[in-house]
Every structure is written in structure tokens, then in C-alpha cells.
Amino acid sequence: MSMKVNNDTSFRRMIREQGVTLVEFGASWCPPCKVLLPILEELDREYGERLSLLKVDCDASPEVAAEYGIMSMPTVIVFHNGEPVEKLVGLRPKSVYETLLSRYL
């Protein structure tokens, strides 16, 4: 499994109705986003099929970014059974994302 890049039209159908989806909202020009991506790729490898990992470029998908109130990048939102349940703004250590995911996996 790998991170899937989404846009305004595909975002809704990519969120798991059952299980956990982690969505990273960022931009290609954002330095903290570039640091976060390898961390998320590690999580993707470690959690495998238990986790769906999506990436949204806020410049390319402004409607989705606005809908979820993205004001700073990176922002990570965890969806559980199709509903947003946690939101982290800014770059955090890998352990923070692991702790967050452990609540839902």
C-alpha cells in the first residue's frame, strides 16, 4: 500500500467507511510537509492494510481544504469509520502519530 494523492472529486470515495484513514493536507512547496512525508510512508509500511493513507495538496484541492478548515500545513486528520475524529496541525514526531493511531486501530 502507498499514499494516495487525492483531489476535490476523488476525496470522498477514498475515505474508508470502515476502519482508519489518515489524511495529510499539505503542499509541494511546504518544508514541514516534506519532512512529514517520510514519516507517513514509514507508518504506511508498518500498519499495512489496517491503515489507509491519503495525501491532499491544498493548492490543487482548495474545496476539500476549505471544508476541513485547513489553515496551516501540514495538517493531519484521522478518520475513523468515515468520520473525522482527530486533527493535528503542524509537524509532530512519529511517536505522536503512532499514539494517535493506536486509539483507533
Q: Which H or E run includes 51?
A: strand 51-57
The CATH number assigned to the domain holding 27 equals: 3.40.30.10
Average pLDDT for 90-97: 97
Section 17-37 average pLDDT: 95
Query: How do residues 31-88 score in pLDDT, each as one tens digit?
Result: 999 999 999 999 999 999 999 999 999 999 999 999 999 999 999 999 999 999 999 9
User: What is the model's pTM?
Assistant: 0.92
Contacts of 43 by beta carbon, 8 Å cutoff, 6+ apart: 22, 51, 53, 94, 97, 98, 101
3: confidence class by pLDDT, cuts 50, 70, 90 = low
Q: Which of 20, 22, 23, 30 is catalytic?
A: 30
Instruction: Name the catalytic one among 33, 54, 70, 76.
Output: 33
Burial 34-68 (b: 16+ CB within 10 A, else e): eebeebbeebbeebeeebbbbbbbbeebeebbeeb
- Count structural domains, the chain: 1
Q: Is the peptide bond before 74 cis (omega within 30 degrees of 0)?
A: yes
Mean pLDDT (whole number) for 7-16: 80
Would you call 30 a catalytic residue per the annotation? Answer: yes
The pLDDT of residue 1:
41
Please give the residue that has the higher pLDDT: either 1 or 55. Answer: 55
Mean pLDDT of 84-96: 97
Catalytic annotation on 58? Answer: no
Domain coverage including residue 20: 4-102
Helix axes 31-47, 94-102, angle to 10 degrees: 50
